[in-house]
Structure 1
């Protein structure tokens, strides 16, 4: 049986590669000031994490999917960096909208995930 460290690390690699692929696919959306790719990634990750952590999955699967894949897939640091950059580039209103969409949307998505 794989150790929990191996499960989390393997999952994190899968999650990070998934995030990279989505970011690459979303390059045409970069013409707008709102970082849609990061918002999509974090909201879908919150939904899935809500489901994973309240499901009847075994602890090993929860580590692999939750800590590993969702941990590598979602990105708090990128979201914060984008908010700071928006604020510095005279897009304070968009920065606040992005922050609120991320926080309120993330909470809502986790809640919806627990209902699945």
Structure 2
């Protein structure tokens, strides 16, 4: 139960950090219609989750739940997606890796379109 509390706290802090970093990045660094704010958040989140995962690899410490699951999860789920892909690559599960990346991108994009079209019908 204590771990859930740390995940909750980290998620809130990560969400606020995502908003602020994305907002100010987009405001200061606009490249046409490229979503620079989200891009920077996703890459920064990947760097951070890679570092933290390596650091806490064998630790069952509350900071692991606060920082990795909570903060990084609130900051960007793209970081979790990327670390899972790295794990598949490291385990030489290339077919699963390709399938996961391909389906996540295509079905994710399709789900957004479907959700938006569904909302338009209501």
Query: How much does 1:59 deviate?
Result: 2.7
Q: Is the 8 A contact 2:7 2:71 kept in 1?
A: yes
Structure 2 gap segments, 5+ residues each: 79-104, 114-122
Residue of structure 2 in register with 1:59 after alignment: 61
Matches within 5 A, 1:62-101: 62-76=64-78, 84=109
**Alignment check: 8 A CA contact 2:14 2:70 kept:** yes
Number of paired residues?
Answer: 79
Higher RCO, 1 vs 2 (CA within 8 Å, ≥6 residues apart): 1
Is contact 2:45–2:72 with CA below 8 Å preserved after alignment? yes
Question: Take 2:42 and 2:67, find their aligned partners in 1: how far apart are those partners?
Answer: 15
Cα displacement (A) at 1:61? 1.1
Deviation at 1:75, TM superposition (A): 4.4
Q: Please state how far the C-alpha of 1:22 moved relative to its aligned partner.
A: 1.4
Could you give the per-residue CA deviations for residues 71-98 of structure 1, whole angstroms, max 9, x where no partner exists?
A: 000144xxx7xx95xxx9xxxxxxxxxx
| Structure-1 residue corresponding to 2:24 | 25
Q: Give the TM-score, by structure 1 length.
A: 0.58
Q: 4+ residue runs of structure 1 moved beyond 3 angstroms?
A: none
- Say which SS state the counterpart of residue 34 (structure 2) adopts: coil
CA positional deviation for 1:27: 3.6
The structure whose Rg is larger is 2
Moved more, 32-41 or 51-60: 51-60
Please say which of residues 54-63 and 67-76 is displaced more in the overlay: 54-63
| 8 Å Cα contact 1:38/1:75 also seen in 2 | no
- Calculate the TM-score normalised by the size of structure 2: 0.55
1:25 deviates by 1.0
